[in-house]
Amino acid sequence: MKIVTADSACSILNKDLMPTNILSTVAIVVDFPYETPIKVHARAGDYSIKDPTVLVHELRLCEELLGIEPAECVHFDLTLGGINILDITDEFLFQLNLSPRGRSVLHAILPDLREIALAIDEKYHAPVLAMGKRSLPVRLAELYASAYGIARGIKIASVSEAEEPIYLGLPEKVLAFFDEKDKVKVTSEEPMEKSLVAEVPISNGVLVEPFLNPMTRGFQVLRLTKRDA
Amino acid sequence: MKIVTADSACSILNKDLMPTNILSTVAIVVDFPYETPIKVHARAGDYSIKDPTVLVHELRLCEELLGIEPAECVHFDLTLGGINILDITDEFLFQLNLSPRGRSVLHAILPDLREIALAIDEKYHAPVLAMGKRSLPVRLAELYASAYGIARGIKIASVSEAEEPIYLGLPEKVLAFFDEKDKVKVTSEEPMEKSLVAEVPISNGVLVEPFLNPMTRGFQVLRLTKRDA
Amino acid sequence: MKIVTADSACSILNKDLMPTNILSTVAIVVDFPYETPIKVHARAGDYSIKDPTVLVHELRLCEELLGIEPAECVHFDLTLGGINILDITDEFLFQLNLSPRGRSVLHAILPDLREIALAIDEKYHAPVLAMGKRSLPVRLAELYASAYGIARGIKIASVSEAEEPIYLGLPEKVLAFFDEKDKVKVTSEEPMEKSLVAEVPISNGVLVEPFLNPMTRGFQVLRLTKRDA
């Protein structure tokens, strides 16, 4: 079964090593055995970490990718038990145990999500399922978004005027490796997910020092310092 | 301290890769250092995934095994903080934060569980403790039930008339390996549990393709296809 | 950024393999890349597992260490979202979803914690942040407290008159290795934390048999038996 999905990742961290923004969104199509995408669609992002429209952006990217590579369903990056976006009713939302902020965010973006899900349904007959964190393809998209986000962060550091290093935050339980000098290899540290890998080329001229975020366990940070030319 | 326990595992998956039934129940006895069972008692199962009497069946299997191999206590596959089954009162159940379904299920099987626990107490002076997911022996029994369930699933596939592959679902954070062609090796992907292994012989004639379930992270699936003779 | 922190670990287990006391408290100072302490301050402990004053003891040890090695903040072993101890108000505590026991414990030790935090603030201008389990330095201190606790447990076993073995319990997802005969190596089994290691010398004359606690998954136990001279 071919599945299309999208996720976003990577952030420049502030001085307290907390994320501020989102650098990268990637949509992928996977098929049995669901280990390597058969298609990858990467897009630089510039969203505030608090901006819920990144979800709308992700679903649009899925729609775009479906135009290139057909798939039977969309795994959408919203964890609501796998419900079809078009089946979400006010009653369903009321029964969810959402925080006031979560509720208002969902209300704000739901009309856009429904419109895109309707278009996807009409054009491609693919349901948009709110699988979120339970979905393996969403996790694979997160690894690819991480790899592209790292490549972008390294590019930003390489042209930066400032002397200060840039701190780049990766998603939870994601590790980046730089064993080969012209690419980054991103893996999942979640049990069962050792077979998932995302590789992306990176530019040179930046010193990359990985370390674990002392402020929050389970998160790797990359310290990026421009090398003297 | 010798401990007897039982657990059930493995299911044929439906077309949405969701479990439908239970294929295998195994009771084991363990002793210090609790890594390999000193006795294994396997039984083919045929329970619906929703049928709570599988728990009654597990406790009966523990009782049977105690007749062969004495032990000091029973770790029962119900997660209620380790309480002795004979000490469960209506008040205790009332204070538990059970779902309506969980409550009615427990009420339905409790008389049978009490009867078996009473017999175990009289014959073997062994308390039946509701340890459930906290117990390491229960986890080891789950690995053995997985290995026997895989062997059974492969046998089912080998005599199947249908052309379609069979999809076999394993328990959470369990991996099966087929490095040697006439046996399966089942391991736990939980941190700390790398030393736990269950090995069971398997029959030939079936192509086994392991993959991660895309619908739910943390679960391995085996695609079983009958080879042409 | 230099961070000081402290944690406690290791317990002699009772016959049900449950912890009874705390054997070891360690304060450390870490700096980028936060992998190895630049200073370690170990102290034998003798606290009941239920005695909350161990937290007061930990903060005093941080204060002592700050006198030797300056740092910019204290990561305190209390998981309250990183709040500064001096900013904890009655209203804040009221809004926390604490158990009655948790609330009374916190009320009992808060005056002492505030007093020490105030002294730390005045002398070293370092805030005391209730980071608890989210903090990586707290976890590293836990590994060091484990290693020192093991060394102490082995010493206790080596001079013990009793014939019975001593059972020593380690913290959750912590493993001890004894590959070299005169030291113990303690590692974290949490995903992402493979790079964290604590090593401490140990005395000879005691047989150490590690096993997983059958009563509670995720915990290693060391069986310590005095060897005949």
Q: Do B209 and A33 touch (CB under 8 A)?
A: yes
**Per-residue confidence (pLDDT) for residue A156, from 0 to 100:** 94
Burial of A84 per CB tally in 10 Å (0-12, 13-18, 19+): middle
- Alpha-carbon gap, residue B199 to A56, rounded angstroms: 48
Residues 6 or more apart whose CB falls under 8 angstroms from that of B207 comprise B223, B224, B225, B226, B227
Give the model's confidence band at B229: pLDDT under 50 very low, under 70 low, under 90 confident, else very high: low
**Torsions phi, psi for C13 (to 5 deg):** -95, 150
- Over residues A80-90, the pLDDT tens digits come to 999 999 999 88
Mean per-residue pLDDT of chain C: 95
At residue B228, does pLDDT exceed 80? no
Quote the pLDDT of residue A95: 85
Which of A188, A215, A222 is the mutation pick for testing C, counting most C CBs within 10 A? A215
User: How do residues B192-203 score in pLDDT, each as one tens digit?
Assistant: 999 999 999 999
Whether B218 sits inside 8 A of A191 (CB atoms) is yes
Q: Taking a C-beta distance cutoff of 8 angstroms, is the pair A21, A13 a contact?
A: no
Chain B residues whose beta carbon lies within 8 Å of the beta carbon of residue C211: 32-35
- Chains adjacent to A (≥3 CB pairs closer than 8 angstroms): B, C
B139 interaction partners in chain C (CB closer than 8 Å)? 217
Q: Give the distance from residue B7's alpha carbon to the nearest chain A alpha carbon, in angstroms.
A: 21
What element of type H or E holds C121?
A: helix C100-124
pLDDT tens by residue, B123-148: 999 999 999 999 999 999 999 999 99
pLDDT in tens, B154-203: 999 999 887 899 999 999 999 999 999 899 999 999 999 999 999 999 99
Task: List, for residues A22-38, the tens digit of each pLDDT value.
Answer: 999 999 999 999 999 99
pLDDT tens digit sequence for A119-133: 999 999 999 999 999
How many beta-carbon contacts under 8 Å exist across B and C? 50
pLDDT at A228 over 80: no
Predicted confidence (pLDDT) at residue B19 exceeds the cutoff of 80:
yes
Mutate to test the interface with B, among C217, C222, C225 (most CBs of B within 10 A): C217
Q: Which of A35, A82, A136 is closest, CB to CB, to B217? A: A136
CA-based nearest residue to C188, from C130, C147, C224 = C147
Pair of tokens at residue C125? 């201008």
Mean pLDDT for C16-23 is 94
Q: Which of B20-29, B155-164, B179-188, C107-116 has the least mean pLDDT?
A: B155-164
Contact at CB, B192 and C216, closer than 8 angstroms = no
> Residue A218 is encoded by which pair of tokens?
């389970």
Q: Do A190 and B216 touch (CB under 8 A)?
A: no
- C139 contacts in chain A (CB < 8 Å): 217
Look-up: residue for tokens 């039982």?
B6
Residues in chain B with CB shorter than 8 Å from the CB of C209 are 33
Q: Is the pLDDT of residue A50 over 90?
A: no
**C68 φ/ψ angles, rounded to the nearest 5 degrees:** -95, -40
Indicate the burial class of C229 (C-beta count within 10 angstroms; 0-12, 13-18, 19 or more): exposed
pLDDT tens, position by position, B66-118? 999 999 999 999 999 999 999 998 888 888 878 888 888 898 999 999 999 99
A217: which chain C residues are within 8 Å (Cβ-Cβ)? Answer: 133-136, 139, 190, 192-193
**Gap between the Cα atoms of B37 and B27, Å rounded:** 10
Task: Find the CB nearest A192 among B209, B215, B218.
Answer: B218
How much is the pLDDT for A196?
A: 97
Q: What is the pLDDT of residue C206?
A: 95
Nearest CA in chain C to A194: C191
Q: pLDDT tens-digit profile of A140-182?
A: 999 999 999 999 999 999 998 878 999 999 999 999 999 998 9
Closest by Cβ to A30, choosing from B214, B217, B218: B214
Distance in angstroms (rounded) separating the CA atoms of residues A81 and B173: 20
Mean of all residue pLDDT scores within chain A: 95
What confidence score (pLDDT) does residue A101 get?
A: 84
The reply to whether residue C211 touches residue B33, judged by beta carbons under 8 angstroms, is: yes
Are C133 and C79 in contact, with CB atoms under 8 Å apart?
Answer: yes
Among A173, A209, A215, the residue with its CB nearest the CB of C192 is A173
Count helices and strands (H / E) in chain C: 4, 12
Q: How much is the pLDDT for A90?
A: 83
Spatial distance between the Cα atoms of B187 and B183, rounded to a whole number of angstroms: 13
Query: In chain B, what residues touch C214 (CB-CB under 8 Å)?
Result: 1, 3, 30, 34, 75, 135-137
pLDDT value of residue A91: 85
User: Is B199 in contact with B151 (CB distance < 8 Å)?
Assistant: no
Using CA atoms of A41, A42, A43, A49 in order, give the dihedral in degrees to the nearest 10.
120
Chain A residues in contact with B209 by the CB 8 A cut-off are: 33
Sheet holding B206-212, edge to edge: B11-12, B166-169, B220-226, B206-212
Paired with C183 in beta bridges are C201
Most C-contacting residue of B192, B193, B194 (CB-CB within 10 A), to test interface: B192
Separation CA B124–CA B66 (nearest Å): 7
Q: Roughly what angle, to the nearest 10 degrees, separates helices B100-124 and B53-68?
A: 10
Contacts of A131 in chain B (CB under 8 A): 215
Confidence (pLDDT) at C229: 58
Q: Considering only CB atoms, which chain C residues are within 8 Å of B75?
A: 214
Q: Which of B128, B112, B19, B131 is nearest to B66 (CA)?
A: B128
Structural tokens at position B49? 């995934």
Smallest CA–CA distance from A192 into chain C, residue: C191
- Quick: pLDDT tens for C168-227: 999 999 999 999 989 999 999 999 999 999 999 999 899 999 999 999 999 999 999 998
The Cα C36–Cα C115 span in angstroms is 30
> Smallest Cβ distance to C34: which of A175, A214, A218?
A214
Residue at A152: amino acid letter: R
What span, in angstroms and rounded, lies between the C-alpha atoms of B138 and B150?
18
CA distance B164 to B127: 47
H or E element that contains C197: strand C197-201
Residue B35 has pLDDT above 70, yes or no: yes
- Beta strands across the sheet bearing A21-30: A39-48, A21-30, A3-9, A73-75, A128-129
Q: Please name which of B171, B137, B28, B38 lies closest in space to residue C217, comparing C-alpha atoms.
A: B137
Cβ-defined contact of A34 to B212 (cutoff 8 Å): yes
Lateral strand order in the sheet of C197-201: C174-177, C183-188, C197-201
